[in-house]
Structure 1
Amino acid sequence: MNASHSVLVVDDHALVRTGVVKIISHESDLQVVAEAANGAEAVEAYAKFRPDVTLLDLRMPVMEGVEAVRQIREMDPQAKVIVLTTYDTDEDITRALKAGAKAYALKDISADELVTCIHDVLAGKTYLAPAAAAKLAEGMARMQVTPRELSTLRLMADGKSNKEIATSLGISERTVKSHLGHLFEKLGVTSRTEAVKVATRRGLVRFDQ
């Protein structure tokens, strides 16, 4: 039986790409037409091959996954993109879905589940990994952190003192303390160390940039 659906596989780890390609190769109605190792290559490959579905990692060099999803969807509003990643913070999930991803799967997914996910997306359905759905619900349930509070949080995570944060943001130390108080309440913590840990887990603070 000839393959009827083309697939683009994008991941900066060759071993992961090989594993995904092998899984897909067992499906008679799916065929991998191209592979890419970063977001920029993904956009180029999509433009060249116009695959029916794209499996794409989030954290990659040159161009991150979310930006690749955005550019692919800008190129083709009907593009079907599945994010396949190890990252499950509510911010990562939200950013990917807002960019236009049709599914968010984690790399601990079984081969059968991955194939089902691909077929669901091809059929116009969406897919959200159970763990990702739980994180997303957690993020939606909590009060939203304001942009200024987020700036305060990230400077605090960089080890800045209240005085240094105040100088960087052009606000008073009293205002910084007020922002921190609101942050602690929203994050459910009582110390700066706990705040950074929780914020990192939820994707509000990242140390790989």
Structure 2
Amino acid sequence: MLMPTATRVLVCHAEPLVRRGIAATLGVDSRFDVVEQRPGDLGLYGYESPPFQVVITDLSFGIATAMQGRDGRLRRNGPTPEVLVLSHSDGELSIRSALECGVKGYLTQACQPEHLVDAVLALARGQRYLEGRVVQRLADTVAQDLPTPREIDVLRLMATGLCNKAIAAELNIAAGTVKTHVKSLLGKLDAPTRTAAADIANRRGLLDAWVENLAPPRHRRRWAMA
């Protein structure tokens, strides 16, 4: 009787301790053939023989990997590997950016080890896998409009307590334009005040520092249309 082939998994998370923990968790399971390495040349991943089926990485590197997979730069000896992100962020923009760029799985670093195993198995079967809290985050905000990139700029400055005139000076735009953005933000966030808007934005992860310019413009079109 032939034994099933182990799923080839590349672990290349940017944080060494997290990377080592992922590899250790999966390495004791005979269903996985795990390779651990630091993030490097994405173009090499598709040249492994046999190729990797799942790549586990951090948010920014995961988005880059998924986009290279879409462009065909990770494909040579077989299908493009599916990307599983393990991130400490459960912010809305982080999750949406990753999914829109082609990431198939998203876990937070607070997940249980069994969720990691389930996620890898699901992606190897061609399925998506989102941790429960990630699904809840998306469900809570799916009917709400996202702020545009410029509104996010205004929101970040507004959260520091700056008035419209000061925000206008920082962004080199008219104070009237800032006022329009603030009004739009209060509506989109269903917030009665500027302070409430900043609090809601923080809870939704809209002010996550690394989200800015995380995805290229073509993957932010829906933001600009909001």
Superimposed CA distance per residue, residues 135-181 of structure 1 (whole angstroms, 9 cap, x where no aligned partner): 11223211232344233223334554311333455543233223212
> In structure 1, what is the equivalent of residue 224 of structure 2?
none
Partners of 1:109 and 1:205 lie apart in 2 by: 23
* Residue among 68, 71, 83 paired with 1:71: 68
> In structure 1, what is the equivalent of residue 13 of structure 2?
11
Q: Which runs of 5+ in 2 are unaligned?
A: 213-226
DSSP 3-state at the match of 2:37: strand
Partners of 1:198 and 1:66 lie apart in 2 by: 25
* Residue among 29, 35, 38 paired with 1:27: 29
Partners of 1:162 and 1:56 lie apart in 2 by: 39
Preserved CA contact (<8 Å) 2:62 2:103: no
Q: Which amino acid aligns with 1:190?
A: P
Partners of 1:155 and 1:179 lie apart in 2 by: 12
Partners of 1:146 and 1:21 lie apart in 2 by: 38
Preserved CA contact (<8 Å) 1:90 1:138: no
> In structure 2, what is the equivalent of residue 53 of structure 1?
54
Alignment CA distance shift 1:15-1:147 (3 Å): closer
Partners of 1:146 and 1:113 lie apart in 2 by: 33
DSSP 3-state at the match of 2:106: strand
Alignment CA distance shift 1:43-1:199 (3 Å): same
Alignment CA distance shift 1:197-1:10 (3 Å): farther
Alignment CA distance shift 1:26-1:7 (3 Å): same
Q: Which runs of 5+ in 1 are unaligned?
A: none
Number of aligned pairs? 202
Superimposed CA distance per residue, residues 54-111 of structure 1 (whole angstroms, 9 cap, x where no aligned partner): 111115xxxx432233224432373211111221111111111111111112222222
> In structure 2, what is the equivalent of residue 134 of structure 1?
136
> In structure 2, what is the equivalent of residue 172 of structure 1?
174
Preserved CA contact (<8 Å) 1:83 1:101: yes
The answer to whether structure 1 residue 83 and structure 2 residue 82 are counterparts is no
Stretch deviating more after TM superposition (119-128 or 134-143): 134-143
Preserved CA contact (<8 Å) 2:92 2:137: yes
Q: Which amino acid aligns with 1:99?
A: C
Alignment CA distance shift 1:72-1:190 (3 Å): same
Q: CA deviation at 1:26?
A: 1.8
Q: Which amino acid aligns with 1:82?
A: L
> In structure 2, what is the equivalent of residue 102 of structure 1?
104
Alignment CA distance shift 1:22-1:45 (3 Å): farther
Which one scores higher on RCO, CA 8 angstroms, separation ≥ 6? 2
DSSP 3-state at the match of 2:86: strand
Preserved CA contact (<8 Å) 1:34 1:45: no
Partners of 1:42 and 1:92 lie apart in 2 by: 23
Let me know the Cα RMSD of the aligned residues.
2.6
Q: Which amino acid aligns with 1:58?
A: L
Percent sequence identity over matched residues?
Answer: 33
Stretch deviating more after TM superposition (181-190 or 87-96): 181-190
> In structure 2, what is the equivalent of residue 125 of structure 1?
127
DSSP 3-state at the match of 1:104: strand
